[in-house]
C-alpha cells in the first residue's frame, strides 16, 4: 500500500473460496440490473453502494466482465428507448423541456452507475478496449435519443425556431436553450456541429441575406450600418449566452458576409448618405461604425480608403483650381488647413488613427496641392500674413500651432525651392519694412524649415537675419562717429544687405532729395572706409520714410511712406502743382512704380495727401498733382500703403518661375556630377532615377530637364556616352 | 466532531470505526460512495459496511488513511505493516482503490 507504484502488480482474487455456483453470475447480475432500474426510477435510497460495488467487483474478478458489460448495454438501451418514447410524446414547447429533464436524469443515473461499476471501468474496460461506462451512456443517448428519427428533426426545427423568434424580438428561455446546446456539446463536438451548428449557420445566412436586402432598400447608409452593428452584437451576445465560443467566428462571418461584404460598394456609394456625405458632414459616429464594421471584412477598409482618397482628390482639386479661391491666397491656405484639420479629426475620432488612412490622406494632399503651381507662393503668403499682423493678440503657442500646420502643408509641396524663393521675398519685405511681429516667431519658422530641409535650405534666410543685426550696429556706430556732422540732416536707418542672400531686383536708383543724398554719401564714405573692397548700391525701391508735414489749417501729421513716395512728396516742398511728367523727370522712378505710388498718395480715401486733376481712379500720363491743403485725418500718424498687389501678377509670377527654373539647372547638374563621380558608369534611366531621388526633397525635376542637363554636361566634357552602348554614360575625370 | 464530518466503517465482525470523512476519502471507492449524486444508503447515513473485511485489516486501513493524509502533506515516515497482514491488506486495498 505504501509502495509508490502499488497499482502495478496484479492481484488475482480477494475471495479465497472459488465460486462454484453456476447461477452465481446470473444472480449477481440480477441484483445489479435491479439496482440500475431503481436508479432510473429515482429510487436509489434503499440501495447499498457497498453491496453493489462488491457485486460488480466480484463479477469482474470472476471473469464475468463480459456478461456485466453486455447486460449494462442492454439495460441502458432499454431505458433509453422508454425515455425516447416519453420525449416523443411531449407536445409542442414541452418537448425541449422534457428532453432537458430526461437528459439531466440520465446524466445523474449514469454517474451513479459509473460509480458502482467503477471497478469494471478500472480493470475490465482498459483490458478489453471497450468504451468506459460514462461514455457508453452518452453514446447510447446519442444513438437512441438524438438520432431517433422523430426527435432529430424536431429538435433541430425547435432550436432554429427559437433562434428565429429571438431574432424577431421575442424573449425565449435562454437557460433551456443553453442546456440543450450543452447537451449536444457533451455528446461530442461532431454532434453539435452536425445537429445544430451547420444548419444554424445555413439558416442564419438565408435570414441575413433576406434581411439585408430589405434594409438596403429602405434605409440610408447610416441606419443600415446601425442595424448591421446591432445584428452583429446580437449574434455575439447569443453565442455568449447559449452557444459555443467557436461558433462565434462562424456566425459573425455570416453576418459580415451577408450584411456587409455583399452590400459594401452599394453602401459606400449610397447617395446622400454614403461615405462621401458622411465625410462632408463630419459624421464621426457613422464613420466610426463603418470603419469598425468594414474592418471585419476583406477589402472593407481599402474600399473606404479608395473612396475617401478619390473624394479628397476631387474636392481638393476643385479647391486649388477654383479661380475664385486664387484671388485670396490667405483664404486659400486657410481652407487647405481647415480641410486638413477636418480629415485629421475624422481619422483620429472615427477611424481609429489608422496609419493607412493617414498615408492616404497625406498622398491625397500631396497630389492636389501640387496640382496648382502657385501653391508654394500662397503658402508663403499665408505665413507672411500670419507673421505680419494676423497674430496680434495670439499667444506664441498658438502661433507655433499655426506654423506647425503650415509646415505640414509645406511637406506636401514638391516644389520646395519655389517656396523658398517666395519665402525669401516675403521675409525680406517683412524685415525691411519692420512689419514682422516677432523675431522669435520668425526664427522658429526658420528652425522648422531647417529641420525639414536641412541647413542649405535656410542658410540664406539666416543670412538675412545676420545682415539686419550687423546693419543696426553699423548705423549706430556711424551716428556715434559722425554725430556732429549729421545732427541737422534727416536720420537714416540703413540696412546693408549681402547681395547673395537677399532677393534683390536690379533697379536703377531714383534721384533722392538732396538732404538725404548728403547723409547717404557720408555713410557710404564711412562704410567703405571700414570695409575696403566692397560695393554699396542703394535699393531705393525697398525703403520706407517718416515725413512730418504741415497742412492747410496748420495741423501736423507724420506720414509713413515708402522711399519713392517720400521722393515725390519732397518735390512738393518747392511746388504746389506738378504734372506726372515733371515728377517722372525729377525722380526717375520707374513708370510702373511711380503710378502705384501716385495712386496711393492721391486716390485712397482718407490718405489723399495729394490732389489729382482730373479726379479719377487711374493715373494718366497727362495728369497734374497738387498738394492737398484740405487733408485731414483723425490720427497723428498716417500710414500710406502702396497699392502694391501682395500676390504676384501674372508676368511677375512667370518671372519668378523662370528664375526658379534657372536656379534648378546648376542643382541638377551638381546632382548628376555627384552621382557619376561615385558610379563612374551608369545608364540613362538609372541616372535619372537617382537624380530625382536626390533632389526630391527640394523639387520634382522633370526628366526632360535632366536629359538636357546631361547633354550639356556631355558637351562640356564632364561625361561621355559609351561607344558601344549609347545609353551608358561615363564620367570623365 | 460533527456527525457530517465523520463516517462509520463497520467490519465483517461488526466492529465500528468512526473516522474523519476526509481520511476515509483517501479510498477512491469510499469517496465514490459518499459523493455519488444518487442517494445511496451510505451517502444518506454515513455508515459503510464491509462484510468481507475483517476487523484487524479495517483497523490497519483506517491507520493508513490517517498516515496517508500526513504523508500527503510531505512528512516522510514509514508505514509499518505486519507481515501476516500483508496479503489481505493488499486485496482490501485493491477493493477500496487506495
The DSSP line for B48-93 is EE-TTS-HHHHHHHHHHHHHHHHHHTT--------GGGHHHHHHHH
Task: Write down the ipTM of this complex.
Answer: 0.87
Taking CA atoms, B83 is separated from A168, B87, B88, B90, in Å, by 76, 8, 10, 11
Q: Thinking of the domain A653-731, which architecture would CATH place it in?
A: Orthogonal Bundle (1.10)
- The superfamily CATH assigns to domain A16-147 is Cullin Repeats (1.20.1310.10)
Q: Are A731 and A677 in contact (CB under 8 A)?
A: yes
User: Is the predicted pLDDT of residue B95 greater than 80, yes or no?
Assistant: yes
Question: Which range has the worst mean pLDDT, A54-58, A170-174, A530-534, A671-675?
Answer: A530-534
Per cent of chain A over pLDDT 90 is 1
The domain ranges of chain A are: 16-147, 375-453, 543-639, 653-731
Q: To the nearest whole angstrom, how far is the Cα of B56 from the nearest Cα of chain A?
A: 16
**How close are the terminal C-alpha atoms of chain A, in Å?**
98
- The superfamily CATH assigns to domain A543-639 is Cullin; Chain C, Domain 2 (3.30.230.130)
Q: What is the largest CA-CA distance in chain B?
A: 39
User: Is the predicted pLDDT of residue A22 greater than 60, yes or no?
Assistant: yes
- Each residue's pLDDT tens digit, B1-24: 456 688 888 988 888 999 988 888
C-alpha cell of residue A118: 467503477
What's the confidence (pLDDT) of residue A544? 76
- pLDDT band at residue A53 under the 50/70/90 scheme: confident
Average pLDDT, chain A: 82
CB contact under 8 A, B79 and A2: yes
Tell me, yes or no, if A465 comes closer than 8 A to chain B by beta carbon.
no
Q: Which of A54, A111, A122 sits opposite B37 (nearest CB)?
A: A111
What's the confidence (pLDDT) of residue A488? 63
CB contact under 8 A, A54 and B41: no
What's the confidence (pLDDT) of residue A1? 45
Integer Cα distance of A57 and A13 in angstroms: 10
Interface with chain B: mutation pick from A49, A108, A137, highest number of B CBs within 10 Å: A49
- Each residue's pLDDT tens digit, A634-693: 777 777 766 544 556 677 778 777 888 888 888 888 888 888 888 888 888 888 888 888
User: Is the predicted pLDDT of residue A14 greater than 70, yes or no?
Assistant: no
Query: A543-639: same fold as A16-147?
Result: no
CB contact under 8 A, B36 and A14: no
Chain A residue numbers touching B92 (CB-CB < 8 A): 14
Tell me, yes or no, if A37 comes closer than 8 A to chain B by beta carbon.
no
Question: How would you classify the pairing of strands A681-683 and A556-562?
Answer: unpaired
Count the neighbouring beta carbons within 10 Å of the beta carbon of residue B47. 15
Integer Cα distance of A288 and A310 in angstroms: 19
CATH 1.20.1310.10 is held by the domain A375-453: yes
User: Is the predicted pLDDT of residue A6 greater than 50, yes or no?
Assistant: no
What's the confidence (pLDDT) of residue A642? 62
What's the confidence (pLDDT) of residue A652? 74
- Each residue's pLDDT tens digit, A235-280: 888 888 888 888 888 888 888 888 888 888 888 888 778 888 888 8
What domains sit in chain B, N to C, each tagged with a CATH number?
Answer: 3-96 (3.30.710.10)
Q: To the nearest whole angstrom, how far is the Cα of B1 from the nearest Cα of chain A?
A: 25
Amino acid at each position: 500500500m505504501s509502495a509508490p507504484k502499488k497499482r502495478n502488480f496484479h492481484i488475482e482474487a480477494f475471495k479465497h473460496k472459488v465460486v462454484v455456483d453456476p447461477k452465481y453470475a446470473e444472480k449477481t447480475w440480477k441484483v445489479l440490473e435491479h439496482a440500475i432500474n431503481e436508479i432510473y426510477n429515482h429510487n436509489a435510497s434503499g440501495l447499498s453502494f457497498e453491496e453493489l460495488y462488491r457485486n460488480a467487483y466480484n463479477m469482474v474478478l470472476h471473469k464475468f466482465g463480459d456478461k456485466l458489460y453486455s447486460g449494462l448495454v442492454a439495460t441502458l438501451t432499454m431505458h433509453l428507448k422508454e425515455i425516447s418514447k416519453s420525449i416523443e410524446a411531449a407536445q409542442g414547447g414541452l418537448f425541449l423541456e422534457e428532453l432537458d429533464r430526461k437528459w439531466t436524469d440520465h446524466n445523474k443515473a449514469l454517474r451513479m452507475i459509473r460509480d458502482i461499476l467503477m471497478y469494471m471501468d478500472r480493470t475490465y474496460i482498459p483490458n478489453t478496449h471497450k468504451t468506459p461506462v460514462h461514455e457508453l451512456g452518452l453514446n447510447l443517448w446519442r444513438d437512441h435519443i438524438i438520432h431517433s428519427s422523430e426527435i432529430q428533426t424536431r429538435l433541430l426545427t425547435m432550436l432554429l425556431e427559437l433562434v428565429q423568434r429571438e431574432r424577431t424580438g421575442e424573449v425565449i428561455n435562454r437557460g433551456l436553450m443553453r442546456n440543450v446546446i450543452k447537451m449536444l456539446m457533451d455528446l461530442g463536438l461532431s454532434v453539435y456541429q452536425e445537429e445544430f451548428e451547420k444548419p444554424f449557420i445555413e439558416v442564419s445566412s438565408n435570414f441575413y441575406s433576406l434581411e439585408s436586402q430589405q434594409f438596403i432598400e429602405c434605409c440610408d447608409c447610416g441606419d443600415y450600418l446601425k442595424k448591421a452593428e446591432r445584428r452583429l452584437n446580437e449574434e455575439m451576445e447569443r453565442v455568449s449566452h447559449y452557444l459555443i465560443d467557436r461558433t462565434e467566428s462562424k456566425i459573425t462571418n455570416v453576418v459580415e458576409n451577408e450584411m456587409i461584404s455583399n452590400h459594401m460598394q452599394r453602401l459606400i456609394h449610397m447617395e446622400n448618405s454614403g461615405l462621401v456625405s458622411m465625410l462632408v458632414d463630419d459624421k464621426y459616429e457613422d464613420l466610426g461604425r463603418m470603419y469598425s464594421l468594414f474592418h471585419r471584412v476583406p477589402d472593407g477598409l481599402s474600399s473606404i480608403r479608395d473612396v475617401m482618397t478619390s473624394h479628397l482628390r476631387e474636392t481638393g482639386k476643385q479647391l486649388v483650381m477654383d479661380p475664385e479661391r486664387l484671388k485670396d491666397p490667405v483664404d486659400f491656405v486657410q481652407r487647405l488647413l481647415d480641410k486638413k484639420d477636418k480629415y485629421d479629426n475624422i481619422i483620429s475620432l472615427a477611424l481609429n488613427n489608422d496609419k493607412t488612412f493617414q498615408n492616404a490622406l497625406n498622398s491625397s494632399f500631396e497630389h492636389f496641392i501640387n496640382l496648382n503651381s502657385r501653391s508654394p507662393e500662397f503658402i508663403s503668403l499665408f505665413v507672411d500674413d500670419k507673421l505680419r499682423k494676423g497674430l496680434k493678440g495670439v499667444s506664441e503657442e498658438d502661433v507655433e500651432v499655426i506654423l506647425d500646420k503650415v509646415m505640414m502643408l509645406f511637406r506636401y509641396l514638391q516644389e520646395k525651392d519655389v517656396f523658398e524663393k517666395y519665402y525669401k521675398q516675403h521675409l525680406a519685405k517683412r524685415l525691411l519694412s519692420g512689419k514682422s511681429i516677432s523675431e522669435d516667431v520668425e526664427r522658429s519658422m526658420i528652425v522648422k524649415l531647417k529641420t525639414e530641409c536641412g541647413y542649405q535650405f535656410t542658410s540664406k534666410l539666416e543670412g538675412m537675419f545676420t545682415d539686419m543685426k550687423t546693419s543696426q550696429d553699423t548705423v549706430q556706430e556711424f551716428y556715434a562717429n559722425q554725430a556732429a556732422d549729421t545732427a541737422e540732416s534727416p536720420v537714416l536707418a540703413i540696412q546693408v544687405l549681402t547681395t547673395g542672400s537677399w532677393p534683390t531686383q536690379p533697379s536703377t536708383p531714383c534721384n533722392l532729395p538732396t538732404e538725404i543724398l548728403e547723409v547717404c554719401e557720408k555713410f557710404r564714405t564711412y562704410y567703405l572706409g571700414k570695409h575696403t573692397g566692397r560695393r554699396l548700391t542703394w535699393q531705393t525701391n525697398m525703403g520706407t520714410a517718416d515725413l512730418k508735414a504741415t497742412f492747410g489749417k496748420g495741423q501736423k501729421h507724420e506720414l509713413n511712406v515708402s522711399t519713392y513716395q517720400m521722393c515725390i512728396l519732397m518735390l512738393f516742398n518747392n511746388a504746389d502743382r506738378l504734372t506726372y511728367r515733371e515728377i517722372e523727370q525729377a525722380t526717375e522712378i520707374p513708370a510702373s512704380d511711380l503710378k502705384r505710388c501716385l495712386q496711393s498718395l492721391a486716390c485712397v480715401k482718407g490718405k489723399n495727401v495729394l490732389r489729382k486733376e482730373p479726379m479719377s481712379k487711374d493715373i494718366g500720363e497727362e495728369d497734374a498733382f497738387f498738394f492737398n491743403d484740405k487733408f485731414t485725418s483723425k490720427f497723428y500718424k498716417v500710414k500710406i500703403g502702396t497699392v502694391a498687389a501682395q500676390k504676384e501678377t501674372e508676368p511677375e509670377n512667370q518671372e519668378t518661375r523662370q528664375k526658379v527654373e534657372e536656379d534648378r539647372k546648376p542643382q541638377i547638374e551638381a546632382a548628376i556630377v555627384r552621382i557619376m563621380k561615385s558610379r563612374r558608369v551608369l545608364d540613362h534611366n538609372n541616372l535619372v532615377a537617382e537624380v530625382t531621388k536626390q533632389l526630391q526633397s527640394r523639387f520634382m525635376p522633370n526628366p526632360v530637364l535632366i536629359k538636357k542637363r546631361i547633354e550639356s554636361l556631355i558637351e562640356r566634357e564632364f561625361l561621355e556616352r559609351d561607344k558601344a552602348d549609347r545609353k551608358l554614360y561615363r564620367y570623365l575625370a | 466532531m460533527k456527525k457530517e464530518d465523520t463516517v462509520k466503517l463497520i467490519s465483517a465482525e461488526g466492529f465500528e470505526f468512526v473516522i474523519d470523512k476526509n481520511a476515509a476519502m483517501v479510498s477512491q471507492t469510499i469517496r465514490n460512495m459518499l459523493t455519488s449524486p444518487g442517494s445511496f444508503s451510505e451517502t444518506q447515513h454515513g455508515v459503510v459496511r464491509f462484510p468481507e473485511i475483517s476487523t484487524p485489516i479495517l483497523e490497519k486501513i483506517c491507520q493508513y488513511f490517517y498516515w496517508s493524509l500526513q504523508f500527503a502533506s510531505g512528512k516522510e515516515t514509514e508505514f509499518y505493516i505486519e507481515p501476516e497482514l500483508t496479503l489481505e491488506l493488499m486485496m482490501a486495498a485493491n477493493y477500496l482503490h487506495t
